[in-house]
């Protein structure tokens, strides 16, 4: 099938490469010339396992190319819209300017019968409005949200746990659903659930999924606050809750909370849209979810302050992690970097290390100190703070090895990812988040 993917950011670049790997003929379009040049050389513009491999294979096979001109999208059977929908400056709603610009630019190149498949995360109602705009060209709009996780993006695109396609009523919608079934044939043949819905439901699935995931994380972090006050251990609590199959252990990871380019902005945009629909009270809890999440960062900073008896000025603090989560170089709304910046603001001499995100972090926060080498960051530290649970810190750093490097054996485990007993046994003052 001939496809175009409009917007080659996180979502689009992965989608284009993954679709080419399934045998489709794909052109990726983006206005960013540097990005298009990198992608055309088969280089991933961000850290994402397997993406480089897929890009190189796709380009070598001739099935994958990247262009800056929208005219190159002409002739595709399906046009995937994969542009960003950031948070509006000064507000909570989604900024749809890139979606609108992409559709404006695409309109002159659409043929009757083309499918435009929206993948971006948008407020419910956007698809219906876009459908009206492309209708005069005789094209059909469908909504096909993505659920990919950074670090697993290639896997989640090729082997998703479900495929959702929102289509218009009638024949036109049925034909569009069949076309999307063909686009994702290997996954469909592997019996991946393929759900055909109306446009609004498909848009809502994405917002609702992210709202649920964020709520689950904030739920366990709220329990961490209670555990702290009661002298209980939230990690053991999460294990015990997780054995109930109705609850499940995944996404009950407590610590400094969620960040990244999706969950924080998506739950805010979801609540803002609910307000516009006159149903703000239905998702009022999302404000709490957000507030609990942001309190976690304060709590981590407070643990460091307490451990150093309030004396942060001039103290050397090793911050292990900068990315918003492991297997990513993404620092958008990273709780890890936020903690580092706050400690620096309190006068500490902060040295941040991360296996993948140092360049991005240094560009955004030049006031912080950085060390590429983990051990160099640890050397002479008065306190160690773990804020991204990379294996390099969680599994591969032994408390004895770290103890030989630091000045004082104080560790704040912002991800509750260390074996507290093992660290204490080596003389460390271990402080977790909601752990005894
Ligand atoms: C998320 C959704 O998982 C994905 O389905 C959606 O399409 C986009 O948003 P992503 O942002 O890549 O994906 O990251 P995810 O792995 O979900 O983690 C989000 C944040 O939550 C990270 O900061 C992570 O550290 C945090 N998190 C996750 C926790 O604090 N605890 C957990 O148990 C899980």
pLDDT tens per residue across span 308-329: 999 999 999 999 999 999 999 9
Q: Which of 11, 187, 214, 262 is catalytic?
A: 262
pLDDT band at 70 (very low <50, low <70, confident <90, very high): very high
Tell me, yes or no, whether 18 and 137 share the same domain. yes
Angstrom distance (rounded) from CA 304 to CA 192: 46
The answer to whether residues 296 and 286 belong to one domain is yes
Same domain (yes/no): 239, 165: no
Residues 291 and 376 occupy one common structural domain? yes
Instruction: Tell me the CA end-to-end span of the chain in Å, nearest whole number.
Output: 57
Same domain assignment for residues 403 and 281 = yes
Residues 135 and 202 in one domain: no
The residue nearest atom 7 of ligand 1, judged by CA position, is 147
Point out the ligand 1 atom lying closest to the alpha carbon of residue 149: 12
* Domain match, 12 and 115 both: yes
Nearest CA to ligand 1 atom 25: 325
Residues 68 and 174 in one domain: yes
d(CA 344, CA 77) in angstroms, rounded, equals 52
Helix (H) or strand (E) holding 2: strand 2-6
Over range 197-209, report the average pLDDT.
97
Per-residue pLDDT of 2-38, as tens digits, reads 999 999 999 999 999 999 999 999 999 999 999 999 9
Copy the structure tokens of residue 358: 């140092």
Q: Where are the beta strands (DSSP E) in 181-248?
A: 194-197
Q: Is 417 a catalytic residue?
A: no
Q: CA triplet 389, 393, 397: central angle to 5 degrees?
A: 155
For the chain, the domain total comes to 2
pTM: predicted TM-score of the whole model, two decimal places: 0.96
pLDDT in tens, 93-131: 999 999 999 999 999 999 999 999 999 999 999 999 999
Average pLDDT over residues 260-274: 96
Residue 121 main-chain phi, psi, to 5 deg: -85, 115
- Which residue among 197, 223, 247 closes a domain? 197
Across 234-253, average pLDDT:
98
- Domain range for 75 is 2-197
Q: What is the pLDDT of residue 139?
A: 98
Task: Output the six-digit token pair for 97.
Answer: 């300017």
| Chain center to CA of 357 | 14
The domain boundary residue, chosen from 163, 180, 197: 197
186 and 204 fall within a common domain:
no
Residue where a domain terminates, one of 134, 163, 197: 197
Task: Please list the residues that pair with 116 across neighbouring strands.
Answer: 79, 141
Q: Are residues 175 and 240 located together in one domain of the fold?
A: no
Hey, whose CA ends up nearest to atom 15 of ligand 1? 149
The CATH number linked to 434 is 3.40.50.720
Q: Does residue 165 sit in the same domain as residue 270?
A: no
Query: 229 and 158: one domain?
Result: no
List b or e across 329-346, with b for residues whose CB sees 16 or more CB atoms inside 10 angstroms.
Answer: bbbbbbbbbbbbbbbbeb
Average pLDDT, the chain: 97
Average pLDDT over residues 366-374: 97
| Cα distances (Å, whole numbers) of residue 72 to 20, 136, 144 | 16, 21, 22
pLDDT for the residue 302: 98
Q: Are 75 and 112 in contact (CB under 8 A)?
A: no
pLDDT at 436: 86
Report in angstroms the alpha-carbon separations of 369 from 118, 340, 363. Answer: 41, 10, 12
- Please list every protein residue whose CB sits less than 6 Å from any atom of ligand 1: 146-150, 210, 213, 217, 251-253, 255, 257-260, 262-263, 324-325
pLDDT tens-digit readout, 155-188: 999 999 999 999 999 999 999 999 999 999 999 9
Cα Rg, the chain, nearest whole Å: 23
- State in Å: Cα 248 to ligand 1 middle: 16
């Amino acid at each position: 099938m001939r496809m175009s993917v409009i917007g080659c950011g996180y979502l689009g670049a992965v989608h284009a490469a993954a679709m080419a790997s399934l045998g489709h003929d794909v052109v990726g379009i983006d206005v960013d010339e540097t990005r298009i040049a990198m992608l055309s050389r088969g280089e991933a513009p961000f850290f994402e396992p397997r993406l480089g491999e897929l890009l190189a294979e796709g380009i070598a096979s001739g099935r994958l190319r990247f262009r800056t001109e929208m005219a190159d999208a002409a002739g595709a059977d399906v046009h995937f819209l994969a542009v960003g929908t950031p948070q509006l400056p000064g507000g909570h709603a989604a900024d749809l300017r890139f979606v609108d610009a992409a559709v404006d630019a695409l309109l002159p190149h659409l043929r009757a019968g083309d499918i435009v498949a929206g993948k971006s995360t948008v407020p419910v109602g956007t698809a219906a409005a876009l459908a009206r705009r492309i209708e005069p060209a005789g094209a059909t709009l469908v909504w096909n949200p993505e659920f990919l996780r950074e670090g697993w993006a290639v896997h989640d695109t090729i082997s998703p746990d479900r495929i959702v396609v929102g289509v218009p009523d009638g024949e036109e919608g049925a034909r569009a659903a069949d076309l999307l079934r063909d686009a994702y044939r290997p996954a469909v043949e592997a019996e991946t659930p393929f759900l055909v819905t109306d446009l609004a439901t498909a848009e809502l699935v994405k917002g609702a999924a992210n709202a649920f995931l964020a709520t689950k994380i904030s739920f366990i972090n709220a329990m961490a606050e209670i555990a702290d006050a009661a002298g209980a251990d939230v990690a053991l609590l999460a294990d015990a809750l997780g054995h109930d199959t109705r609850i499940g252990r995944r996404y009950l990871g407590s610590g400094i909370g969620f960040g990244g380019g999706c969950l924080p902005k998506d739950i805010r945009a979801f609540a803002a849209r609910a307000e516009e629909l006159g149903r703000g009270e239905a998702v009022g809890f999302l404000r709490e979810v957000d507030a609990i999440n942001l309190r976690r960062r304060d709590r981590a900073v407070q643990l460091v302050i307490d451990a150093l008896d309030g004396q942060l000025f001039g103290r050397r603090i090793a911050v292990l992690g900068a990315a918003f989560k492991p297997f990513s170089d993404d620092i958008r709304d990273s709780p890890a970097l936020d903690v580092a910046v706050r400690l620096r603001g309190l006068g500490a001499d902060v040295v941040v290390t991360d296996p993948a995100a140092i360049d991005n972090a240094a560009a955004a926060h030049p006031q912080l100190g950085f060390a590429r080498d983990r051990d160099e960051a640890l050397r002479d530290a008065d306190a160690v703070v773990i804020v991204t649970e990379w294996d390099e810190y969680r599994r591969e750093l032994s408390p004895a090895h770290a103890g030989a490097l630091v000045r004082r054996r104080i560790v704040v485990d912002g991800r509750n990812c260390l074996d507290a007993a093992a660290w204490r046994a080596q003389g460390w003052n271990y402080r977790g988040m909601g752990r005894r």
